[in-house]
Chain A
């Protein structure tokens, strides 16, 4: 490589971090420093230092001092991943009067010292990584961060307990919230439950006040029976389209008296709220405490919509609130932040055909059991077999149905152990039946959970450690005749057992919403291959997403129990409030722009932008990028045949220079 010595290269400082021994254990830091000073001197490096912890205040001061005293124009810190400390070192530069974007981090910890073992080889690679960063930083341009005002309103998607909590937190802080829910009422899965573990509080008793508060809060606008159909814009300035499905009930007139429901002559199986275990009318409110109180007409099942006659509801409505002419309605709202609390679906137990759900009458799912044990449910809280009257004498509860199984879902659904223990307690309490629990591992890690396990043990529930092989009605002898037989290896006894029972409860796991992929595209959040939304950081940023301004809470990111969902709802709200209070948001100035002189008007870039940030000016026959919409991916930069598009932060010059730097040793060897 021909180094043009004497040319006016910017003055670069290189700082190599030991990171305690995290780096120096595998990389000869001293050697890297020496080499940087000597070999990269020709490239413009005027100073190279190493230090135990560059990120410490002393380390940062070192850099600040050099910038001021040596007149550094570029800084390279060879340390950890930029995702950890890029902001730290940019801050140091800024304090010393250097544009923060003239500082680069070279990752020699995550990409070198932690993943390699041979010290000599690792040291060589560290040098290459540093050289790449030096060559790149020379081509960096000073940039100004972008500031965008934040719209103070917030959209919360999903009216389960996580969404309700988030909405209340923000509303109570004095800001407006739109709470969108696709079912007729808010409340989510929690509204279906009877008791909650481990305290056995009645779910309705603790949820209803929250629902009521959300429904009547002056700062919360409920959009139930509604779905988000389109999202445009970016943090601080989202434009969201919401489809309001027709209720066929004029909510301005309806008083929620319930006469229409009473008079409606048609009953259908309620697959949503009653989980298929009970019936509802065709005009209905899902449950007594529903918020809002207005009913909905289920048009596909309504006799009037299907046959043109009936109208019983209309006839009897005292306020003339029934309106068969209602149509879908689209409303557009402006918000600054969005919280996704879209929740989960339940695993379809029929997929585990060896457990017989759907084939064997007295095999129930956990959600069916919740409804059955609920005093407001289809059996009035009586625990009975499918015939609706017989109390079971023996009940088997099977854990991990559809979870921890490569044939279905790999993950642990986290709530099933506790839920099953709760069922065992309820069955005992209400029927006195013999209860078996079949588990692989008992997982009771949260507050007061293991104590609940102890309590259920004490109550005499029989625990069998083994994944149930099958539930069958094929008896082998008299004793099994007419029963459901649970066949399992009792792994602690080392023997196969066949246990005849009257009722089986399958503790079914949680799954991502069936439409999670579409939702993730709609809001531009990441979705893992199994369908759960991806957090910005699983530990340190669990309620943010990679998309600024879009938060997530509750089971949308994975299975959670009620306390965790509530905590996440509140945490997401805190994140949003933090943004709102800042009044404006700082964006990375990574944007593409088109040189109008070079643009040939070929329009190749136009179709490449998924954010519709590229406009084509018909009159001048050139394209232009709207910096407010550009997200900085750089696809158009790479595609422009005229080389007219450049991208700040990741320009061609920067990347080509980095390649040169990374391969410097190879070329020196030629």
Chain B
């Protein structure tokens, strides 16, 4: 393996804003870190916390959640619900001994390709600094990962 750690990140995007921001970043040929793999949802409100857990358990080192700016939700206000779940999720992660910073919520409108690219770059660096999570390896190892989560400094 190379000497620098290349994190793998799952990104959830909203069909109406951030997915289009990603399209825009592409159309405008903005370059950003290749570490994030995106999944399209119709709305950030669709984000089931299980998805995040599943991603982390399956080998992702971080999860990026993106949605429309507050007040700009295509479905009126569902991004607020995403925000509530996100805050809850971070508490749960912390309780499990996983650095809550591994999950991040970012607002990006359909016009903000550049912002999305920048946020992705920032987040990749943040996760790189946190180091690998390796939850899937723990799972593969003893099958009791949830009781024995990856070692994390949670100070």
Contacts and interface: CB of A to CB of B under 8 A. Distances in A.
Direct contact of A and B (CB under 8 A): yes
A118 B35 CA distance: 12
A667 B74 contact: no
Contact of A659 (B27, B54, B140): B54
Nearest to B107: A529
Interface in B1-31: 8, 10, 16, 19-20, 22-23, 25-27, 29-31
B27 A655 contact: no
Contacts of A117: 31
Contact of B60 (A116, A590, A663): A663
Given A110-B25, A666-B136, A132 B37 contact: yes
Contacts of B81: 608, 635, 639
Interface string B27-59: 101111010011111110111111100110011
A-B pairs with lowest CB-CB distance, top 10: A110-B26, A634-B46, A635-B45, A666-B59, A633-B75, A633-B43, A638-B48, A114-B26, A610-B76, A662-B37
Contact of B75 (A110, A517, A631, A638): A631
Interface of B: 8, 10, 16, 19-20, 22-23, 25-27, 29-32, 34, 37-43, 45-51, 54-55, 58-60, 68-69, 71-72, 74-78, 81, 85, 109-111, 117, 136-137, 140
Interface of A: 81-83, 107, 109-112, 114-118, 121-122, 125, 128-129, 132, 517, 521, 524, 526-529, 534, 546-547, 590, 608, 610-611, 631-635, 637-639, 647, 649-650, 652, 655-656, 658-660, 662-663, 666-667, 670
A541 to B, nearest CB: 12
A590 B74 CA distance: 15
Contacts of B50: 652, 656
Question: Which of B55, B75, B117 is most buried by chain A, counting CB atoms within 10 A of its CB?
Answer: B75
Contacts of A128: 37
A635 B34 CA distance: 29
Contacts of B140: 670
Given A110-B25, A608-B78, A635-B43, 12 more contacts: A82-B40, A83-B23, A107-B38, A109-B26, A110-B22, A132-B39, A521-B76, A610-B76, A635-B81, A637-B46, A649-B42, A659-B60
B10 A659 contact: yes
Given A115-B31, A116-B31, A659 B110 contact: no
Contacts of B48: 637-638, 652, 655
26 contacts: A82-B40, A107-B26, A110-B26, A111-B22, A114-B26, A115-B29, A128-B37, A524-B74, A528-B109, A632-B42, A633-B43, A633-B75, A634-B41, A635-B75, A635-B81, A637-B48, A638-B48, A650-B42, A655-B41, A655-B51, A659-B10, A659-B60, A663-B59, A666-B59, A667-B58, A670-B137
Contact of A638 (B19, B20, B39, B45): B45
Contacts, number: 155
Contacts of A83: 19-20, 23
Given A110-B26, A517-B71, A529-B69, A546 B42 contact: no
Nearest to A632: B42
A670 B59 contact: yes
A548 B55 CA distance: 33
Contacts of B49: 638
Given A635-B81, A666-B8, A659 B42 contact: no
B58 A121 contact: no
A608 B37 CA distance: 29
A166 B51 CA distance: 46
Contacts of A670: 59, 136-137, 140
Nearest to A126: B34
A81 B34 contact: no
B76 to A, nearest CB: 4
A655 B49 CA distance: 12
Question: Which of B10, B26, B32 is most buried by chain A, counting CB atoms within 10 A of its CB?
Answer: B26
Contact of A125 (B16, B34, B69, B78): B34
B73 to A, nearest CB: 8
B46 A635 contact: yes
Nearest to A668: B59
Contacts of A81: 19, 23, 26
A23 B85 CA distance: 37
A82 B85 CA distance: 28
Question: Which of B23, B72, B77 is most buried by chain A, counting CB atoms within 10 A of its CB?
Answer: B23
Contacts of B22: 107, 110-111
A60 to B, nearest CB: 22
A653 B25 CA distance: 29
Contacts of B58: 659-660, 663, 666-667
B45 A634 contact: yes
B67 to A, nearest CB: 11
Contacts of B38: 107, 111
A107 B32 CA distance: 16
B51 to A, nearest CB: 6
A122 B25 CA distance: 16
A632 B78 CA distance: 11
Question: Which of A111, A117, A528, A652 is most buried by chain B, counting CB atoms within 10 A of its CB?
Answer: A111
A3 B131 CA distance: 29
A116 B121 CA distance: 12
B74 A659 contact: no
Given A82-B40, A655-B41, A115 B30 contact: yes
Contacts of A652: 48, 50
B75 A610 contact: yes
Contacts of A660: 58
Contact of A633 (B34, B46, B109): B46
A114 B27 contact: yes
Contacts of A521: 76
A670 B136 CA distance: 8
Contacts of A527: 71-72
A494 to B, nearest CB: 34
Contacts of A132: 37, 39
A655 B39 contact: yes
A587 B4 CA distance: 48
Contacts of B27: 110, 114
A610 B26 contact: no
Contact of B26 (A111, A122, A659): A111
Question: Which of B22, B59, B111, B140 is most buried by chain A, counting CB atoms within 10 A of its CB?
Answer: B59
Contact of B41 (A109, A114, A121, A650): A650
Contacts of A107: 22-23, 26, 38
